[in-house]
Amino acid sequence: DGGITQSPKYLFRKEGQNVTLSCEQNLNHDAMYWYRQDPGQGLRLIYYSQIVNDFQKGDIAEGYSVSREKKESFPLTVTSAQKNPTAFYLCASSSSSLQGEVYEQYFGPGTRLTVT
């Protein structure tokens, strides 16, 4: 089945530690995204990538880093510099609009990160 996987579903870390969230897709999508979801805040864009080996900061990139070495994978690292990392993180992918079309985003099941 084609889809997006995020692992693990729940993640616990101690304050001061970096943590990497996994996102893998087999939809052959060029574009991938990371969102953070907090209660009452909707979805806020952290980073996105329209093509392999390239990515751009979203609205709340501070304290996060990403890589896009393979089309299928877009891991997100939450660094110790992120002041309030506890949140629900969603990964998404879509066909890229670089060809002029607009495509909806498909989402993974999310990872709940708790930092104490």
DSSP string across 67-80: --SBTTB--EEE-T
| Closer CB to another protein, 32 or 78, in the complex | 32
Q: Among 43, 12, 40, 17, which Cα is nearest to 108's?
A: 43
Rounded Cα distance, 110 and 105, in Å: 14
| Closer CB to another protein, 9 or 14, in the complex | 9
The residue type at 83:
K
SS3 65: strand
Smallest gap from Cβ 32 to another protein, in A, equals 10
| Closer CB to another protein, 14 or 102, in the complex | 102
Residues in contact with another protein by the rule CB under 8 A: 31, 33, 40-43, 45, 48, 50, 56, 58, 88, 90, 92, 94, 96-98, 100, 102, 104-107, 109-110
Smallest gap from Cβ 96 to another protein, in A, equals 6
